[in-house]
Amino acid sequence: MTQLIAMDPIDLTEQDSAGAGTDLVAGRLAAYGWAYVGSVPRGFDYVGFLRQFGDLLPQYRGEKVWDLKPEPDMDDVYHSNNTRALTPHTEGYELAGLPPRYVALWCVTPSSGPGGETTLADGYEMLGGLTEQDRESLRERRYEWHCSEGLARQGVHLSNSHPVLESYAGVDVMRYSYNNVARVPDGLLIPFLEAGKEFFDREHSSVLMAQDALLIWDNWRMMHSRNAFTDRGRHFKRVLIGA
Ligand X SMILES: O=C(O)CCC(=O)C(=O)O
Least Å distance, CB 103 to ligand X, is: 6
Among the listed residues 91, 94, 122, 218, the single contact to ligand X using CB under 6 A: 91
Strands 66-68 and 222-226: unpaired
- In this complex, which beta carbon is closest to ligand X, that of residue 137 or of residue 180? 180
Closest CA to 180 of 150, 205, 154: 150
One character per residue 5-34, x = contact with ligand X (rule: CB under 6 A):
------------------------------
Among the listed residues 28, 79, 221, 224, the single contact to ligand X using CB under 6 A: 224
Q: Tell me how crowded residue 32 is: count the other CB atoms within 10 A of its CB.
A: 21
Stretch 105-134 residues interacting with ligand X (CB under 6 A): 118
**235 with 96: CB under 8 angstroms?**
no
- In this complex, which beta carbon is closest to Fe ion, that of residue 21 or of residue 70? 70
Is there binding between residue 177 and ligand X (CB under 6 A)? no
Least Å distance, CB 208 to ligand X, is: 10
One character per residue 180-219, x = contact with ligand X (rule: CB under 6 A):
----------------------------------------
Stretch 31-70 residues interacting with ligand X (CB under 6 A): 68
**190 with 178: CB under 8 angstroms?**
no
Distances (CA, A) of 37 to 5, 24, 46, 123, 220: 13, 10, 11, 22, 20
Strands (E), the chain: 10-11, 34-39, 66-68, 102-109, 118-122, 143-146, 159-162, 165-168, 171-174, 205-207, 214-218, 222-226, 235-241
Say which entry of ligand X, Fe ion, none residue 238 contacts (CB below 5 to 8 A, set by partner kind). ligand X
Binding site for ligand X (CB under 6 A): 68, 80, 86, 91, 103, 118, 224, 226, 238
